[in-house]
Structure 1
């Protein structure tokens, strides 16, 4: 069964946020946005998103720093990092900090739609996963 997700989009570029917002809404999910890592961390505290799309490079607080803080607040929240700068070490660091995956920008629209669809279909809350793993 496909679940409607709470998705947070974090990017300093309004155009990227807008495009992802359209894709998320068209896929039947609720969407929230933030312009930087500080806003993202604050929103995670209040909305507890199921999935986050977050840019690596942003002013005020970058994505990697925000990722570390988010994983402490909401360890079960899955985060997809996005970067226009294809650096293998950035992807490695993101994965070590707990990112689900690292996606290159510009991204493929169909790839994002498929990711949302697959994630929603297979979604389990952090609590559900813990119960299944320790039952």
Structure 2
């Protein structure tokens, strides 16, 4: 049996971070959180997440700037972008920078759980577990 996936939640909205931390802990994942891109990069180094769920609009370092840096530090880490502001040009940048998926805010918890579950299944199949 594979080890529980590690999920990093990156959002400057405390309520969103706390909600997603609670949801994914209840789902059996190891969870860490960060309030901006700079904190996220530190967590990627120390926590080594399998999956990052990240907002685009954040102070200090936004999601578009953080995404390629996460992929450079940890190429196998999958990143799901969550945002209320996704224009066609931004969507193109999200995919070009290595995102594995995106969801609009407000999101349905079933959708985000399903997206994470799918990425965990892909990870497990890649490692033959």
TM over 0.5, yes or no? yes
Whichever of the two has the greater Rg, that structure is 1
After superposing the two structures, state which structure 1 stretch, 18-27 or 54-63, moved more: 18-27
Deviation at 1:78, TM superposition (A): 0.3
1:78-120 deviations in whole A, cap 9, x for unaligned?
0001111131221210110000012101101111121222222
Q: State the partner residue of 2:34.
A: 34
Deviation at 1:31, TM superposition (A): 0.5
Q: For structure 2, which runs of at least 5 residues remain unmatched after alignment?
A: none
1:49-103 deviations in whole A, cap 9, x for unaligned?
0000000010000011011111111111000011111312212101100000121
Distance change >3 Å, CA 125–CA 62, structure 1 → 2: farther
Aligned length: 128
- Give the TM-score normalised by the residue count of structure 1: 0.87
Q: Summarize the alignment of residues 1-135 of structure 1 with structure 2, pairs less than 5 Å apart.
A: 3-124=3-124, 128=127
Equivalent-residue separation in structure 2 for 1:117 and 1:68 (angstroms): 23
Equivalent-residue separation in structure 2 for 1:2 and 1:115 (angstroms): 18
Q: State the partner residue of 1:132.
A: none
Helix, strand or coil: the match of 2:28?
coil
Pairwise CA RMSD of aligned residues? 1.9
Tell whether the 8 Å contact from 2:78 to 2:119 is kept in structure 1 after alignment: no
Instruction: Between the two structures, name the one with larger relative contact order (CA 8 Å, sep ≥ 6).
Output: 1
Runs of 4+ in 1 over 2 A off after TM superposition: 116-122
